[in-house]
Amino acid sequence: MKKTIKLLLAAMMILGLTACKSEKPEEKTPTEGFQPSLDTSASGEIKVAGGYDNFEALETEFDRFNEYYPNVKLEFTKVDDYNNMIGTVLNGNDAPDIYVSNSWMYGRDQYKSSFDHAENLADPALGLDLDCIRSNIILNTDDGTLPMVPVFANTYGMLVNNDLFEKEGLSVPTTYQELVDVCKAFREKGYENPLMGFSKEETTSLFTLTIYPFFCGTVADDAEAIKKLNALDPSAGEYMRPSLEKIVQFLNDCGVNLEACGEIENNYDAVILRFFEGDVPMMTCSGDTVSGTKKRESRSEAFIANPFKYTFVPIPVSDDGAYFLDMPNLQFSVDKESENLEMVNEFMRFLITSPELNEMAHNKGLMSPTKDLSFDNMYAAFGNIPESRILSPEVFGLMDDAVKQLRQAAYGVGTGTMTIDEAIAGYGALAQ
């Protein structure tokens, strides 16, 4: 009897949360109707493997799942050198039931074992509500199967000190000209660095964060360009020219001080703590960096002394407005050879719903992969971007090797170590 009451209360709580987050009653989320399909007294273990040092957000979901299945133990294990070791782990005696995958692994021989083990999560018999996830970040495979499903999303943008904007009577920019004008206005008001970012390496440098979405906007509808870029055809370098010219214009127009940016030691902890000093209106970063902000509020003496409201918004490099570069961050695969596959799929059916994915993303500080981003003020601005300006490499097919070439080119041009023509001529052979 107590167990029945506990289950009913849990269901009522989830119903209440869902109702509060939806303004349209007809748009019901799957968890409203989630009902255990197995014996709730069943016992077992679900093992999840990934590269995170810790995964408290997933452990919270474990606790919520245990409201339905109290005798099921769920455990997360960090695997050192995850990308190189996951194949070996899956072929071992203690293979995980659920494991982290990434879209860029698809089609690479090095990760063939990961895909050989993966269950087809698009199988209707599994009952996963894939419709709650933004379709543009779901991996498109050659055979139509789905070896992985996004549980977190990622994008590029900038942290904004909303209190500074309010104090100075300025609005957060949504177009390139507004961005230029805001930077000028802040400088006139005595702010030395209106816009900053990490500038020491190319992977998530301010050059990549700023220009990659813009670049995607120039090639996303050009199948021939994508084909040549992916083939690392030297002639494809010319497709980078508008973006490389834009990065130079951006640095000049916004008065970005690369020397000051060079003092930021890394693209995570140091970026956050520099932003928390409270004198930088805008700081470029990725969603990965944003996920670390909450924990570091208590580590910043400046923020403790003068806390302020901040959000994460797109960088409006385009004249027509910002692009939302929508990418999966973390994806789960299920080992089809799991000895506890039925219960593992039950957990996935529970997790892949709007309320649970939103809850886990919010707890982790990352962007949710679900269709409604309005529930999280940190990322809400991205939900206001029109569909025509939402871009995803998962859809138009730009591969990781091509992206690396763009990053190297943007970094070289941005730091002045290459001319635009040199970067274009070197496409396909730029150092990795």
| Residue pLDDT, tens place only, 114-165 | 999 999 999 999 999 999 999 999 998 888 899 999 999 999 999 999 999 9
Percentages of the chain per state (helix, strand, coil), in multiples of 5 = 50, 15, 40
Residue 212 falls inside a structural domain: yes
Claim to verify: residue 397 and residue 260 sit in the same structural domain: yes
Give percent of the chain above pLDDT 70: 92
| Contact of 381 with 312, CB cutoff 8 Å | yes
Claim to verify: residue 257 and residue 401 sit in the same structural domain: yes
Q: Which domain holds residue 80?
A: 2-152+329-372
Give 432's pLDDT tier (boundaries 50, 70, 90). Answer: low
Token pair 């961005």 in the structure block, residue:
179
Residue 166 falls inside a structural domain: yes
Claim to verify: residue 24 and residue 121 sit in the same structural domain: yes
**Structural domains counted in the chain:** 2
List the Cα angle 257/259/261 in 5-degree steps.
Answer: 70
Single-letter code of the amino acid located at 269? D
Claim to verify: residue 243 and residue 282 sit in the same structural domain: yes
Residue 160 falls inside a structural domain: yes
Claim to verify: residue 197 and residue 248 sit in the same structural domain: yes
| Burial (0-12, 13-18, 19+ Cβ within 10 Å), 40 | middle
Say which CATH number the domain at 335 has: 3.40.190.10
Claim to verify: residue 248 and residue 161 sit in the same structural domain: yes
Residue 378 falls inside a structural domain: no
C-alpha 231/C-alpha 253 separation (Å) is: 34
Residue 379 falls inside a structural domain: no
**Average pLDDT of the segment spanning 176-183:** 98
| pLDDT > 50? residue 371 | yes
Residue 258 falls inside a structural domain: yes
Pairing outcome for strands 195-196 and 156-161 = unpaired
pLDDT digits (tens, 9 = 90+) for 231-261: 999 999 999 999 999 999 999 999 999 999 9
Lowest mean pLDDT among 29-38, 241-250, 289-298, 372-381: 29-38
pLDDT attached to residue 140 = 85
List the Cα angle 66/67/72 in 5-degree steps.
Answer: 25
pLDDT digits (tens, 9 = 90+) for 3-37: 333 333 333 333 343 333 333 333 434 345 578 99
Claim to verify: residue 60 and residue 86 sit in the same structural domain: yes
pLDDT attached to residue 24 = 35
Claim to verify: residue 389 and residue 243 sit in the same structural domain: yes
pLDDT digits (tens, 9 = 90+) for 46-87: 999 999 888 999 999 999 999 999 999 999 999 999 999 999
Claim to verify: residue 241 and residue 134 sit in the same structural domain: no
Claim to verify: residue 202 and residue 298 sit in the same structural domain: yes
Claim to verify: residue 135 and residue 212 sit in the same structural domain: no
Claim to verify: residue 307 and residue 363 sit in the same structural domain: no
Mean of pLDDT over the chain: 90
pLDDT digits (tens, 9 = 90+) for 311-327: 999 999 999 989 999 99
Residue 377 falls inside a structural domain: no
Residue 109 falls inside a structural domain: yes
- Please give the biggest Cα pair distance in the chain: 74
Higher pLDDT among residues 201 and 6, named by residue: 201
**Average pLDDT of the segment spanning 182-203:** 94
